[in-house]
Amino acid sequence: MPGADEFFSVLAGDLEVARAHLDLRTVPLGPWPGVPEPDRPVVRLQLLEVASGYWGRGIGRATVDHLRFLHPGTRLAAVSVQGAAGFWEALGWDRFEHRDGRGRLPLYLAPDSPSAPLARPASQVRGRG
C-alpha cells in the first residue's frame, strides 16, 4: 500500500537526535488479550529511537505528542522493546502482555483522549518525510 509508512527525524541543529516510523495501515492489533476493540483507526508506531546522549530531555515525549497531533482521530500503538517499559508507562500508555507469554514483547496503547486534536506541541520535531 503506497503511502502507508511515514518516517520522521528529530533534529537538534543539523544533528538527528531521534527518529520515528509510523505504519498507517489499519491492521488488527494481534495476539494481546484484553486490548479493547478500537473505536477509531490505530496507527502503529514501529520505531521510536532517541540517541542515548539525549535521553531524559523530553525528546521522546515531544515526538510522541507531535505524532498524535499529526494524526487526530487515531490511537497510537507500539510494541515495546526491552528496557522501554518505563518510557511508555510514564506517558500513561496501557500495557498488554502477549498471549504466548514470556519472551514476547508487550503492546502499549496510547490512552483514550478527547476527540479534539491535541494542541500543537512545542517540540523539537522538525523533519517529516
Instruction: List the chain domain ranges.
Output: 5-109
Domain 5-109 has CATH 3.30.1330.90: no
Cell of 42: 490505530
Give residue-wise pLDDT tens across range 33-89: 677 777 778 888 989 999 999 999 999 999 999 998 888 888 898 887 777 888 999
Residue 122 has pLDDT above 80, yes or no: no
Beta carbons of 86 and 114 less than 8 angstroms apart? no
3-state secondary structure of 101: coil
Task: Select the highest-mean-pLDDT range: 20-34, 74-88, 92-106.
Answer: 74-88
Tally of CA atoms within 13 A in the half-sphere of 54 that contains its CB: 18
The predicted pLDDT at position 115 comes to: 40
What's the first-to-final CA gap in the chain, in angstroms? 16
Exposure letters 23-32 (e unless 16+ CB within 10 A, then b) = beeeeebeeb
Residue 9's nearest CA partner among 61, 44, 48 is 48
Residue 47's nearest CA partner among 75, 24, 78, 13 is 78
Which one is predicted more confidently, 127 or 103? 103
